[in-house]
C-alpha cells in the first residue's frame, strides 16, 4: 500500500469518525428535545390537576361548608333563651366553621402561594388556633412560647408548624379524654422544639386503628421542614409529641413509641 493510499484511508477514517460524532450529537439533541417536551407535558398536566383540585374544593367542599353554616344559623334561631349553653356551643362551632371556610378560600385565592394570614405573628396564630379548638370543651391549655424560637423559624415553615400544632391539639381534644394540655415552643443552641403533651388515655401505636392519616400527615409535615418528630404514648398515662428542627435535624428518623 502506497503513501497516497494510506492518506486516503486516514481521510476516510476521519470522515467516518466525524459522521459518527455528528450522529451521536444528533441523537443527543433528539433525546434532549424529547425530554424537554416530556417535562412540558408533565407541567401542563400538573397545572390541569391543580385547577381541577381548586374547582373541586370550590364547588364541593366549600359549598358543603356554606350549607352547614346556614343550617347552624337556622338551628340557633330555633333555640330558646333557656338554652344558653347550647347556643354557646353553636357559636363556637360556627366560629371554627368560618375559620375553615377562610382557609379554603385563602388556598383558592393565593394559588398555592403565601397568604395574607402568614403576615400575622406566629405566636398570635398559635394561641388563636388553640383557643378555637379548645373553646367548646372543658380543657385547660397552658402555652409557653420563646420569642427566640420564633425568630429562628423560616416563614416558609410556619404553616407546617401550625398544621402540626392543630392536628396534635385536635387529637388531644378528640381522643385523649384529658382536662389539661401543655404546649411549648423553645430554642436551645439554634434547635427549635415544639412539644404538645397531655395526661389523657394515651394509645398503642400497634393498634391498626391508630395508623390513620393524622399520624402519617404529621410525619410528612415534619419531613417537609427537615424536622424530627417523636411521639411517645403510654396507655392510661398520656401522649407527648415532640417536633425538633434546625441545624442537624434533617435526615434523622421519626419515631412513634
Residues 30-39 pLDDT 10s: 777 778 778 7
User: What DSSP line would sit under 45-112, residue for residue?
Assistant: HHHHHHHHHHHHIIIIIHHHHHHHHHHHHHHHHTS-TT-HHHHHHHHHHHHHHHHHHHHHHHHHHHTT
Q: What does the pLDDT read at residue 152?
A: 92
d(CA 96, CA 137): 13
Segments in the chain below pLDDT 70: 1-29, 109-119, 205-214, 247-257
CA angle 229, 177, 253 (to 5 degrees): 10
How far does the chain reach from its first CA to its final CA, in angstroms?
83
Distances from the Cα of 178 to the Cαs of 35, 53, 143, in angstroms? 56, 37, 16
Cross-strand pairs, 228: 244
Closest listed residue to residue 166, CA positions, set 127, 198, 138, 203 = 127
d(CA 65, CA 68): 5
Closest listed residue to residue 163, CA positions, set 239, 238, 101, 225 = 225
Report helix, strand or coil for 6: helix
Domain with CATH 3.30.565.10 in the chain: 121-257
Q: What does the pLDDT read at residue 113?
A: 47
Which of the following CATH numbers is that of domain 121-257: 3.40.50.720, 3.30.565.10, 3.40.50.920, 3.90.110.10? Answer: 3.30.565.10
Would you mind telling me the total number of residues written for the chain in this entry?
A: 257
Put the strands of the sheet holding 140-145 in their side by side order.
140-145, 180-188, 191-198, 238-246, 228-234, 255-256
Amino acid at each position: 500500500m502506497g503513501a497516497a493510499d494510506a492518506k486516503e484511508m486516514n481521510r476516510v477514517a476521519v470522515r467516518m469518525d466525524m459522521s459518527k460524532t455528528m450522529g451521536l450529537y444528533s441523537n443527543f439533541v433528539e433525546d434532549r428535545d424529547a425530554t424537554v417536551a416530556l417535562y412540558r407535558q408533565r407541567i401542563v398536566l400538573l397545572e390541569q390537576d391543580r385547577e381541577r383540585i381548586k374547582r373541586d374544593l370550590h364547588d364541593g367542599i366549600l359549598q358543603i361548608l356554606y350549607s352547614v353554616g346556614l343550617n347552624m344559623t337556622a338551628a340557633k334561631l330555633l333555640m330558646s333563651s333557656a338554652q344558653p349553653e347550647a347556643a354557646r356551643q353553636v357559636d363556637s362551632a360556627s366560629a371554627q366553621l368560618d375559620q375553615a371556610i377562610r382557609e379554603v378560600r385563602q388556598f383558592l385565592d393565593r394559588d398555592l402561594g403565601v397568604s395574607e394570614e402568614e403576615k400575622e405573628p406566629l405566636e398570635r396564630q398559635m394561641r388563636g388556633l388553640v383557643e378555637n379548638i379548645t373553646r367548646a370543651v372543658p380543657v385547660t391549655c397552658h402555652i409557653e412560647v420563646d420569642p427566640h424560637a420564633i425568630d429562628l423559624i423560616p416563614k416558609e415553615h410556619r404553616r407546617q408548624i401550625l398544621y402540626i400544632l392543630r392536628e396534635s391539639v385536635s387529637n388531644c381534644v378528640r381522643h385523649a379524654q384529658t382536662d389539661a394540655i401543655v404546649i411549648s415552643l423553645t430554642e436551645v443552641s439554634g434547635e427549635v422544639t415544639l412539644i404538645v403533651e397531655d395526661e389523657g388515655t394515651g394509645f398503642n401505636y400497634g393498634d391498626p386503628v391508630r395508623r390513620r392519616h393524622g399520624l402519617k400527615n404529621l410525619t410528612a409535615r415534619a419531613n417537609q421542614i427537615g424536622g424530627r418528630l417523636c411521639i411517645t404514648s403510654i396507655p392510661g398515662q398520656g401522649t407527648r409529641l415532640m417536633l425538633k428542627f434546625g441545624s442537624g435535624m434533617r435526615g434523622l428518623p421519626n419515631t412513634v413509641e
